Structure 1
Amino acid sequence: MQQLEGRGGVRRMPQPAASEVDRGPETVARPEAVAAPRRATRLFVIDGLRLVAALLVAAHHYIGTARVDAPGNTVWGRPTGEIFPHLVPVAAYGWIGVEFFFVISGFVICMSSWGRRPREFFVSRVIRLYPAYWFAVLLTTVVLSAAPAVFHALKPTQVILNLSMLQQGVGAPHVDGVYWTLWSELRFYLIFLIVVATGLTYRKVVVFCCVWGAVSAFAAKSGVPLLITLADPDSAWFFIAGLALYLMHRFGSDLLLWGILGLSWVMSQHELLSRVRFERVSTWTGSLVLYTAFLFVMACISLGLTDRIRWKWLTTAGSLTYPFYLVHYAVGVTAIHYLHSRVDARLLLVGLFVGGLALSWSIHRFVERPLAGFLKRGLSRAFSRWAP
Structure 2
Amino acid sequence: MLTASVGHPVERDVSGGGTAAPTTSRATVAPGGEGGHQPQRPRIRVLDGLRLLAALMVVSYHYFGFVSMPTAYGWLGVELFFLISGFVICMSSMGHTVGQFMTSRIVRLFPAYWFGVLLTSAVLLIWQVRKPPSLAEIAANLTMLQGGIGVRRIDGVYWTLWVELRFYLLFSAVVWFGVTYRRAVVFCVAWLFGAVLTMKTPGVANTVLVSEWAPYFIAGIAFFLIHRYGQTLLLWGLVGVCFLLSANHVVGLAVGWNKASGRADLPGWPAALVLALFFALMAAVALGWLRLDWKWLSVAGALTYPLYLIHQYIGGTVLAELADLPYLPLRLGLIVVMLVAAWCIHRFVERPAARLMRPALVRAIGALDRVDVPVAGPSRLRRPRQGQ
User: What TM-score do the two structures reach when normalised by structure 1?
Assistant: 0.82
Among candidates 235, 242, 246, match of residue 264 of structure 1: 242
What is the CA-CA distance between 1:273 and the residue it aligns to? 2.3
Q: Distance in 2 between matches of 1:384 and 1:45?
A: 32
Tell me the equivalent position of 2:80: 100
Q: 1:126 and 1:237, CA in 2 relative to 1: closer, same or farther beyond 3 A?
A: same
| Deviation, structure 1 residue 340 | 2.0
Larger Rg: 2
Which residue is equivalent to 2:338? 356
Q: Are 1:180 and 2:159 counterparts?
A: yes
In 1, the alpha carbon distance for the partners of 2:335 and 2:242 equals 33
The one-letter code sitting in structure 1 at the alignment partner of 2:61 is H
Shift of 1:385: 5.3
Alpha-carbon offset, residue 231 of structure 1: 1.3
Q: Which residue of 2 aligns with 1:112?
A: 92
**What is the CA-CA distance between 1:347 and the residue it aligns to?**
1.3
Contact 1:64–1:89 (CA under 8 A) maintained in structure 2 = no
Shift of 1:222: 4.6
Gaps of 5+ in 1: 1-14, 23-39, 66-80, 82-87
Q: CA deviation at 1:310?
A: 1.1
Aligned equivalents of 1:305, 1:273: Cα separation in 2: 28
What is the count of residue pairs matched by the alignment? 330
Residue among 149, 159, 174 paired with 1:195? 174
Matched, 1:45 2:25: no
Q: 1:278 to 1:367 in 2, by over 3 A?
A: farther
Distance 1:213 1:385 in 2: 32
Q: Does the 8 Å CA contact 1:167/1:173 hold for their aligned counterparts?
A: yes
Instruction: Specify the alignment match of 1:28 in structure 2.
Output: none
Within-5 A mapping of 1:360-375: 360-375=342-357
Counterpart amino acid of residue 316 in structure 1: V
Question: How many angstroms apart in 2 are the aligned matches of 1:295 and 1:21?
Answer: 30
Q: Which residue matches 2:14?
A: none
The verdict on how the C-alpha distance between 1:222 and 1:176 changes in structure 2, with shifts beyond 3 A counting, is: closer
TM-fit CA distance, 1:234: 1.3
122, 125, 135: which one aligns with 1:156: 135
One of 200, 222, 228 as aligned partner of 1:244: 222
Aligned equivalent of 1:234? 212
Aligned-partner Cα distance in 2 for 1:385–1:53: 37
Q: Structure 2: 5+ residue runs without aligned partners?
A: 1-20, 26-40, 374-388
1:287 matches 2:271: yes
1:205 equivalenced with 2:184 (yes/no): yes
Q: CA deviation at 1:109?
A: 0.4
Identity of aligned residues (%): 43
| Candidates 307, 315, 319, aligned match of 1:332 | 315
Residue of structure 1 equivalent to 2:17: none
Contact 1:141/1:154 (<8 A) preserved: yes
Distance 1:51 1:180 in 2: 19
